[in-house]
Structures are given as C-alpha cells and as structure tokens.
Structure 1
Amino acid sequence: MKRILVIGGSRYFGKTLVTKARDAGDEVTVLNRGSSTPPPGVGRLVADRDDEEGLRAALSGRDFDVVVDQVCYTPLQAAVARRVFAGRTGRYVMTSTMEVYDPATLPAGPSLPARPPRPAGTSLPAAPVTEESLDPARLPPASAVPAASPHAAYAEGKRQAEAVFLREPAFPYVAVRTAHVLGGGLAEFTGRLAHYVRRIGAGTPVEVHEAPYGTSFIHHHEMAGFLQWTAEQTFTGPVNAASHGAPDVIALCEAVAGQAGRRPRYRTVPAGAAASPFSFDRPYAMDNGRASALGFRFGRVADWLPGAIAETLHAAA
C-alpha cells in the first residue's frame, strides 16, 4: 500500500486515477481548492496550489510516498511544488503533455530543432518522437514563444514546469508526456472528438491540411491506468504515454463517419493555417518504446477508438 496524493484529480481521467488507486488498496488523498468532493474512501485537503503558505499549512504533518500532480501548468507552480514537497514525498509524477514536442511552439535553440513540414501532396514518413528528443533543462529559463496563442502558452508552460523539476531535483521525478486523451463522451472536456461528431453529422466540412501527419492518442481509462502504474514504479525522467498507432485526421474522420452513417466533407487549408483539431502539417506522433520496455502494455487506438466515438455520438444525441 502506498500513500498517494493527487493534486487535482477532480475531473476526467484524474477522477478515474483516484478511484483506481483507492480500489488497488492505496491510501489516496486529493488536494484541490474545494470545488468538488472526492469519492468515498478518499481523503481530502483543501488548498490553492498557487498559495505557497496556504499549501504548506494544508500539508502540515503530512508526507506521501507519491505525489501525482495533475494540474501543474507553469514554472511558478512547479517551483512552489518543488519547495513545498521537498522532504514530503519519495516520488513526484507530473502530468505533462505531448504538446511539449510541438515544433510550432518551440523557442529557437538547440533543444529540439523544428522539422519543416513536408511538401504538399507527399506522404513522407515521420519517425515518432522519443523522450530524448527534448531536454527542457536546456531551455532558457525565460524563453520566448513567438506565437502568442493559448496552445503555444500551454506547451511552453509545461516545458518550463518540467525544467524546474529537472534543474534542481528535490525528489525522484517523472514527467508523463500524455498523448491526446479521448473517450468519456462529453466528459472529454476539450470537445475535440465531439467537434468531428457534430461536423460530420451535420454535413459541415472538416478543415484539414493537404497532407496531414498522424498523431498519438490514448484512451482516458488507459491514461488513468498508466498514471497509477507509474506511481508504483521507480524509474525517473520523462516518459511518453500513447496507445499503439498514430492515425491522421483523415483516418479519424473516416472512423467517425463509419458510425455516424454520413460521409465526411473536407475543406483543405494550406500549411501553417489553422485547421480542425488533430490535423497537423508537421510531425506529431510519439514513440512509446520507453514505457513499453519498462513493462506497461499499451492498447491499440484501432481497438478502442470505435467505442469512444460511439460514446460521443450517444452523448451528443
């Protein structure tokens, strides 16, 4: 049995993580601002993670075998956590994102050179990116992101948060770089799968690039299971979490169309232009080899995607 603190854990796959760990016999505590009540059998601490003194007060006299941080978005939040949890935990698992690899949001520098988009009309293969491709600790502490967009800010915030934990280690640390998480019907709060269900069902064109790259996905239950498994392990450093397979946006649309009973319509946009979610004009898939070699058995996107689509169709009906 482990004593596990989940920071966040009040929605989507965080809720599933909490119940999985509880049902496995771990002593689970959730820390949030009090906006939701944890399930039965789960402890609760109320604090704002951005309030360092308040966080210290909430944790007074408490320590944990593992902290799973679901809601660390900025280097300031990471710095507070690093100071507060030093000496309080034997392992720290931060939920990061595959967006940290996105060449469209990377600042100039040697850490991960941006690969140019492939020429229109071609289907050149792109090798899935490995953890070693990005070392956040090598990024400037206050690197600038040219594209002032929510996506770029989110990606850079996660990179810089990872860097804080890596530059001055205070405890064994893991950054779980999650693929795009799907499933759960309308509980999938980003609404990206619902976007396709609505558009294809209504006959509205889906905006795609001429030669979109494939990308990585993971089911929300698998994501919760991966985090629970990671909490029980001893490895450190970044690790990619993605189901096997990397469909592109056309394959995704075809899968939706197969259940919606209506052929998708497309509108092609040029490279660099905004398109529908999961249409990428640049390499955007992750290699899951490290986690697989460590012993985690990923599922296949092709096996769970039809169920996730059916769930979303039913919820949207």
Structure 2
Amino acid sequence: MKKVLVLGGSRYFGRGAVERLRDAGLDVTVLNRGSAPAPSGVIHLIADRDDEAGLKAALGSRSFDVVLDQVCYTPLQAGIARRVIRADRYVMTSTIEVYDQIRTDAPMAESLVSRSPVDAGLPWHDENFLEAHYGEGKRQAETVFADGDASFASVRVAHVLGGDDFTGRLRHYVERLDAGDAVEIHAEPRPSTFIHAREIADFLAWATQADFTGPVNAGSHGELSALDLTAAISAEPRFEVVERDTSPFSFDRYAVMDTSRATGLGFSFSSTTDWLGEAIEDVRKA
C-alpha cells in the first residue's frame, strides 16, 4: 500500500484531496498544526512545519512514497521539508500567481516560469511581506524542491471557487451585487483561469498518485473575467472603475493558464459553465 504524507489538508480542497486519497485505499498521514481534526481513517500528526526540530520529532523514522504539500509558501519552508522529510516523490501545491510577472496575450504555459533565484535572506517570516510576495515565495519554493533528490512536481492551481470557500472572494461579488451595490473593477478587466474546489481536490489526488515531474497547470476550461463573474451573478450588475484596490479577480493583465500539459497527461477538466452557477448559489445559501 502506497504511503502518503499530506502537509496541511485540514480545510477546503486540501481536506477533499485527503479524503480522496484515503478512499483510494492509500495509507495516508496528515501533518498540520492541529487547528482542525483530520478526516477519519488517516493518521494525524501535529507539528509546525516552520519548526525544524519539532517536525523531525513528529515524523520520527517515518518515510513515505509520496508527499502532497498543501501549505508551502516560502523557500525556507521548502528547505526544512527537504532536510527533514524522507520521500521518493514530492508534490507541491503551487499557484497561478507564479505567473504574476508575465505579460502576454496567450495562455501561459508552464515553461514561462521554470526556475527562480532563491533568496533565503528575505523577510519570509513577515506576514505582510509574504502576502505581498506570494507568487515569488511559491516560485522560490518550487526551485528549492526541484533541486532536491526526490522526484518533484508542482501543481499550479487556478483561482478556486465553490465548496467551503473561506477566502470570501466570490462572496464579495455576490453580496455586493445582490444588494445593488457596485463592484470595483479595472477599466478593461482581463480574464483568468478558475477551477471548482471539488475538481482541484480530484486533480491533487490524481497528481499525487501519478509519476510525472515538473510544473503542471490545473484549471477548468473557459476563461472568466470580472465582467463574466458579475454577469453570472446579476442581470443588472453595477461597476465602479478604479485604478487600485479593485475587487478580487479583476485583472489588468491577461492571466489565463495553458492546461494542455495536464490534459495530455490524462486528466479531463470540466468547463466553468458546468459549475459556476452552483458556486454562486452555494455562496447565497451559506
């Protein structure tokens, strides 16, 4: 039986991925800070991944066939994981934000961002710095793992909607538009790539059991802009054009990922039209 370690996995689509791996018959261990109970039927270890000694103590002599790392945001965290965790394969949940410096009018392939210089001296422990440099932190973490001994893959996840979404980004649109208020957008909002929480949980479980290496983009077919989102929510949406502090998912650059590598590897994505209405209604019901 394949032994899998999931770092994080206590909420949202990470929890869904844990449940899918468990239901597939894998021997699953979840390691996190214990803020929420792990799903039933898995081993639950409690440790702070930023505490190298504590992480080493929690894992003991355990080794794994594969790791799914849901909560790696910096090269420092990646370095600790490389030094402490023994595994043959490592899958890191990355983000569409690794492309935040790319300016293009074509869907973004994985090769546009391959390696990023690693700077462990940056203030990665500062929450404000980390939030402002989210994409850079993920880029550098990818590089650290890619330089390790384990077989490595990174899943660059599109913007996630639906399910038990704690981010409040879609809720921002639904609540404002349902109240007749305006949403703040760029003068010409550009589209991006999205995926349902259910589907990215499926994808992460699939990627954990696969054997490909390198980065792979994960997103549903059918790009969406802020205008598309508002049109799906309200028949008479109201807008306010601003230069900064726009609503979530309003982009001034083309931010669509090319998902042909994932489909070529055998994963079939849904289309955003299959689930967008459901995601909106889930917000209204919550």
Which residue of structure 1 lines up, in the alignment, with residue 140 of structure 2? 160
Which residue of structure 2 lines up, in the alignment, with residue 267 of structure 1? 240
Distance in 2, Cα, partners of 1:171 & 1:22: 23
Distance in 1, Cα, partners of 2:48 & 2:280: 35
Of 106, 128, 132, which residue of structure 2 is paired with 1:127? 106
Give per-residue Cα distances to partners, 1:247-299, cap 9 Å, x unaligned: 111011000115xxxx21001124xx231111101121101010000000000
Decide whether the 8 Å contact of 2:14 with 2:201 is kept in 1: yes
| Structure 1 unmatched ranges of 5 or more | 104-113, 117-125
SS of structure 1 residue aligned to 2:233: helix
Q: Kindly report which structure 2 residues correspond to 1:1-317, keeping only aligned pairs within 5 A, or say none.
A: 1-85=1-85, 88-103=86-101, 114-115=102-103, 126-137=105-116, 139=117, 141=119, 151-166=131-146, 168-184=147-163, 187-257=164-234, 263-270=236-243, 273-315=244-286
How far did 1:213 drift?
A: 0.8
Give per-residue Cα distances to partners, 1:76-126, cap 9 Å, x unaligned: 0000001112xx2111011110001012xxxxxxxxxx438xxxxxxxxx2
Give the TM-score of the pair, scaled to structure 2.
Answer: 0.94
Decide whether the 8 Å contact of 2:130 with 2:137 is kept in 1: no
How far did 1:34 drift?
A: 2.0
Distance in 1, Cα, partners of 2:180 & 2:90: 46
Distance in 1, Cα, partners of 2:88 & 2:281: 41
**AA of the residue aligned to 1:210:** A
Distance in 2, Cα, partners of 1:34 & 1:19: 17
Q: 1:143 to 1:200 in 2, by over 3 A?
A: farther
Question: Which 4+ stretches in 1 moved above 4 angstroms?
Answer: 142-145, 148-151
Q: 1:300 to 1:205 in 2, by over 3 A?
A: same
Q: Taking every aligned residue pair, what percent have the same amino acid on both sides? A: 54
How far did 1:143 drift?
A: 9.3
How far did 1:39 drift?
A: 1.9
SS of structure 2 residue aligned to 1:90: strand
SS of structure 1 residue aligned to 2:177: helix
SS of structure 2 residue aligned to 1:274: coil
